[in-house]
Amino acid sequence: MCSERLFSPSELSRYDGVHSTDIYISFRGRVYDVSSRSDMYGGSPPGPYHVLAGRECARALSTMSLALEDVGREDTEDLQNLIAKLEKAMNPVEVRAAVDRAAEEWQKKFDESYAVIGALQKPLPGQKVSAAKLQQGFLNLVRSLRGGRGGAGTEQGGPAAAFSHASLHPAPGRTPPALGTKVESAGPFELVSRKPRIYLQRRFLSSAECRTLISMILHRQEGMRFDKKVRAPLEVSDEHWTEEQRSLILRIETRLAALTGGPIHDDEVALVGTLTPPDKSLVATGSSCTVAEHLGLHVDTNAAPWRFCTAIIYLSSLGDGLEGGETVFPAALPLGGEALPSEASERAVEAAGRLLELGIVHTDKALSPSAREAARELLDAARPEGPGLRVKPEEGSVCIFWTRQDDGEIDRFSWHGGAPVAQDAAGGGGQNSQPSDWKWTLQKFKEVPVSVRHNPGLLADFVRTTRFNASQG
């Protein structure tokens, strides 16, 4: 191999499918030309493994992790985080064997599929990339994926300039279509409310991707009766998934990281698939079909205290004869409604703030007289005729909202809940509906990394930066 080119890490990084049409990656120090698979490693549109383009990828691929601390590394000696993550499914010896086996399989695949064009120069001892540089790279990538431009403007000012505390994972912002499916471009990333901050994007996923995810949720819940709400985690590391299914999960995770401005990291839970079947006892005739009779209202720190942002992907539109299923934000002020909120809006916002002041994060936990009164007012506002914002389930669309404000505190405007699914007012039509007609969602709860959780200043910087990054679309 003496005649092969020796690449420094910075030289290799130029061949990332964005700055160059050629795409090179390194696996165990061997540099391969993978330009023929721009669908996997390319940047326009970003492939599921675009983050590996121009980088060493042995550790990332062998451990199936695109976390920043794993990308750009060859070593696989330290597997403590992976062992902890898989402790319920595999013991440490099995994890080590699986990683070693994956490394050999990837090595064989690269050797058989791509030309070796050189070798990667080993980094100098102690050589590291600054967090500020990683942050700027993340911002530039997000802007390029949304059609914007990165540059000195972000370095010179704005909240992002001051943030360099958490490891950031550069994440692609669009999903390449599955082979054999029609290319469908995502809709605009549309701001629909500033209080709380809520964005909507239609066609985030294709119909084929939605159907695949529904089948995966069904597979995880095989043998269960679907007469009540069902939840199923969809983890990248789940051994039941095929390579294509695992790739789909990974693409969604990385796209959501780009849209929310928050990195993928080990301190947040996996995607959660949810089925909400119709409640046969309800008919959607106004007041009888309410959030209060379903699951109540909450802020998303009710189940995990470090959540800051949530994405709800709607995998289905309701079938004929069914109504409801909206995500209801009773205290939200939609765009255009902030200047002159109605009396009903003011009462809802005041009740939402009162509950948080009492330490209440779910209306079901309102036990004292004052808390019960505030919960009643907020639940009244969540009725179909009430104020606020209601997001209707639409196949392939995503709703992204922030639970925390710029200062890191819980946003009182972010109280929300799911309206029940019911037969329409005419009745009958929904009685014979199939499970595919019901409400299916995929949720991602973005969480603050452990490294900033117990420092209010760093936590606020982190949240402020994610909100700023998301606004750059």
Query: Cis peptide leading into 196, omega within 30 of 0?
Result: yes
Are 121 and 194 in a shared domain? no
The residue whose two tokens read 């700027």 is 136
The residue whose two tokens read 């039941």 is 240
Q: Tell me, what's the pLDDT at 218? A: 87
Q: Tell me, what's the pLDDT at 123? A: 62
Rg value, the chain, Cα = 24
Question: What's the pTM value of the predicted model, to 2 decimals?
Answer: 0.65
Distance CA 213, CA 207 (A): 10
Tokens of residue 179, six digits: 């082979």
Structural domain range at position 424: 190-456
Are 123 and 200 in a shared domain? no
Residue 137 included in any domain: no
Are 115 and 201 in a shared domain? no
User: What CATH number does the domain containing 113 carry?
Assistant: 3.10.120.10
Are 322 and 395 in a shared domain? yes
Distance CA 74, CA 30 (A): 10
At residue 62, what is the residue type? S
Q: Tell me, what's the pLDDT at 437? A: 82
Give the SS3 label for residue 371.
Answer: helix
**Residues of the chain falling short of pLDDT 70:** 1-3, 43-48, 88-89, 123-184, 221-228, 280-294, 337-339, 425-433, 473
Residue 124 included in any domain: yes
Which of 128, 144, 179 corresponds to the end of one domain?
128
Angle between helix axes 207-220 and 243-260 (nearest 10 degrees) is: 110
Q: Tell me, what's the pLDDT at 361? A: 95
**Domain total of the chain:** 2
Q: Residue 354 belongs to what H/E stretch? A: helix 343-357
Which of 93, 110, 128 corresponds to the end of one domain?
128
Q: Tell me, what's the pLDDT at 38? A: 82
Tokens of residue 152, six digits: 């000195």
Nearest 10 degrees: Cα torsion 453, 458, 460, 463:
-80
Residue 462 included in any domain: no
Residue 20 included in any domain: yes
Are 445 and 296 in a shared domain? yes
Q: Cβ atoms within 10 A of the Cβ of 6, count? A: 12
Are 89 and 208 in a shared domain? no
Q: Cβ atoms within 10 A of the Cβ of 21, count? A: 12
Task: Please say whether the beta carbons of 116 and 100 come within 8 A.
Answer: no
Pairing relation of β-strands 389-391 and 327-329? antiparallel
Are 214 and 86 in a shared domain? no
At residue 16, what is the residue type? D
User: What CATH number does the domain containing 219 carry?
Assistant: 2.60.120.620
Tokens of residue 176, six digits: 């390449």
Residue 92 included in any domain: yes
Q: Tell me, what's the pLDDT at 181? A: 41
Residue 153 included in any domain: no
The residue whose two tokens read 């993928």 is 264
Q: Cβ atoms within 10 A of the Cβ of 451, count? A: 15
